[in-house]
A and B are shown apart, each in its own frame.
Chain A
Amino acid sequence: MEKIKIENVSKIFGRHINQALKLVEQNKSKTEILKQTGATIGVYNANFTVNEGEIFVIMGLSGSGKSTLVRLLNRLIEPTSGNIYIDGENISKMNKKQLINVRREKMSMVFQNFGLFPHRTVLANTEFGLEIRGISKEERRLKAEKALNNAGLLPYKDQLPGQLSGGMQQRVGLARALANDPDILLMDEAFSALDPLIRKDMQDELLDLQQKVRKTIIFITHDLNEALRIGDRIALMKDGEIIQIGTGEEILTNPANDYVRTFLEDVDRSKVLTVENAMIRPISLNIDIDGPKVALQRMREEEVSVLLAVNKLREFKGYITADDALEASKKGENSVINYVRTDMPIVPPEMYIQDVLGIISDSKTPLAVVQEEKLVGVLIRGVVIEALSSSDENEGVTENVSIS
């Protein structure tokens, strides 16, 4: 269902706005307008719709107008022309009181630098939206504590934001937005100020959260990898114009123009691909039950010289080579437990290929992919190189998009 609809929305900064607007209506180019009137175009004739429950990513470099565009949605910046509909209601025509009500009930915003009030505790920050709405003290405390609890931050509720790390602060920012229970979340470069590892965690958390709460999310970012990871659909902006809208796959496989193409070249495949995308099915041996004869039989069957050793809970224990299995068999042993080698490196499935490259080139053996101690796959050098080189066909990347 259609949640947000943007129709011919433009934002012009500077003087001679009316004159500039007329030129916009005549479909004059931005540079032409700047030359004739001196007005700068923030957003130029934007059109799109966002469906309910969708993560819609607006992506562009700095100065492309993406932050302006998201602020037009809740009218923190007044649109110069055009219509913005939320649930069919025209936001751009609302009076102050109606607008305040929409802001209070329909949408909450998460900010790049968290936008937390330094003089309020974490709890008081989380309560802010409810407090503004005039909800009773007990009720807002209950809701805010619930939101903090979901973010795992309840123990910190009496601290000031300045005492928390960046990642935790942004969790508070998100909890504050969710405590309000809005239909729409506006996230303006919400994770851009966080360091890469934390950022990735937050992206995962957002996706998990989205599974549960199904909000309509407008997510602003300048990071294509982030856009591909979390966006159901992506709008690419340049100089205030939206130049392409589509799923990550559509944009990657069918860039609208040269600008999009050059933008996409910045995507480092090794940064987008994770171990999970490149790993293959492990050929394993249950060392609690199987002996050397079974091991040798399986190696013949699968045409490999190494088996991964797991116990009956499928927990990773090491690996067995064909030579060792043969020796155990000659000695007439019933178990291979004493022949299990443990020098195989372990990587988690969500690790980026980029970070694995160093490990895999140093290792004599393939890498075991282990999640919560259980063996889930194996990473072989040849497959990794294949995955990276398949960038020409964009296969690896699109595959990743569909997974995430």
Chain B
Amino acid sequence: MSQFLDFIPKIPVADSVEDAMDLLTDTFAGFFDVIKKSGKFSMEFVTDFLVMIPPVLFILIIAAIAFFATKRKFGLAIFSIVGLLFIYNQGLWEELMNTITLVLFSSVIAVIIGIPLGILMSKSKVAETIIQPLLDFMQTMPGFVYLIPAVAFFGIGVVPGVFASIIFALPPVVRFTNLGIRQVPKELVEAADSYGSTGWQKLYKVELPIARPTIMAGVNQTVLLSLSMVVIASMIGAPGLGRNVLSALQQAKVGNGFVAGISLVILAIIVDRLTQSFNKKRQ
């Protein structure tokens, strides 16, 4: 029986994917290089700027935003102050800023790509049948796998880290945008149509505003996913808190790993609550 199975020679999937990657890398080398250089430049610029802000001022700004975003409640504001002070106290301030830059770039780019894709999906059945399986694929593929093309295209450093994070964090915002627009009550779509709206008018004046809470839930998920890629991205040289977790792992230093891990959790909680409260506030 096994002879029969062995009758079919191994299909060279791995080889052909590699060939295709090589081809891509070679053909678009100039393009990738431009992206890498400009990306690295702008991210370093943002990180430098963040590091330049006095930590006390930075903490106070975050606390103030948290205070007003949560309808003048003290909970999140106090948590932000204590948490950020803790990170500063542990000497992880610069790493924190690096991580924030990475999350900022990857989630903003993911949202910029994701929302139009979601809109396209909601409007076109063809687009939906093509994009849906791609999203399933992206979500089930382990995050590590994205590191390989990232390295192939961009070498090592922060840019491939952002690239891998974008791919990893993209699906929720696309799915939620699609869902949000499709869930707009039929009667409201009919109302928009019956008054003679063009497609764009309908989208801007009715569908997007009504779908916004759902889209924002997707944005929130995307931000958190890109944060969760931080550690994995550090394997290809992206700077930040992830690198500390990684080196603690490699050297089996439980204490260091714990501190860096807890710092990531603090950042995640602040980011999550902030994005959620922006959503609630506007409803």
Contact = CB atoms under 8 A, between A and B. Distances in A.
A108 B210 contact: no
B210 A104 contact: no
B187 A108 contact: no
A317 B191 CA distance: 51
B196 A109 contact: no
A118 B185 CA distance: 11
Interface string B174-204: 0000000000010110110111111001000
B187 A112 contact: yes
Contact of A76 (B185, B194, B201, B205): B194
A36 to B, nearest CB: 28
Contacts of B206: 117
A225 B187 CA distance: 26
A132 interface: yes
Q: Which of B188, B191, B201 has the most CB of A within 10 A?
A: B191
A111 B190 contact: yes
A100 B195 CA distance: 8
Interface string B8-19: 000000000000
Interface string A119-143: 1000000001101110000000000
A129 B188 CA distance: 13
A317 B69 CA distance: 64
A129 B187 contact: no
Interface residues of B, number: 17
Contacts of A132: 195-197, 201, 205
Nearest to B206: A117
Contacts of A113: 185, 187
Contact of B187 (A102, A105, A111): A111
A109 B193 CA distance: 10
Interface in A90-124: 100-105, 107-109, 111-113, 115-119
Nearest to B209: A119
B188 A108 contact: no
A384 B224 CA distance: 73
B196 A115 contact: no
Nearest to A74: B194
Contact of B196 (A104, A111, A116, A118): A104
26 contacts: A71-B190, A74-B194, A76-B190, A76-B193, A76-B194, A100-B198, A103-B194, A103-B195, A104-B195, A104-B196, A105-B196, A111-B190, A115-B187, A115-B188, A116-B191, A117-B188, A117-B205, A117-B210, A119-B209, A128-B191, A129-B195, A131-B205, A132-B196, A132-B197, A133-B196, A186-B194
Interface of A: 71, 74, 76, 100-105, 107-109, 111-113, 115-119, 128-129, 131-133, 180, 186
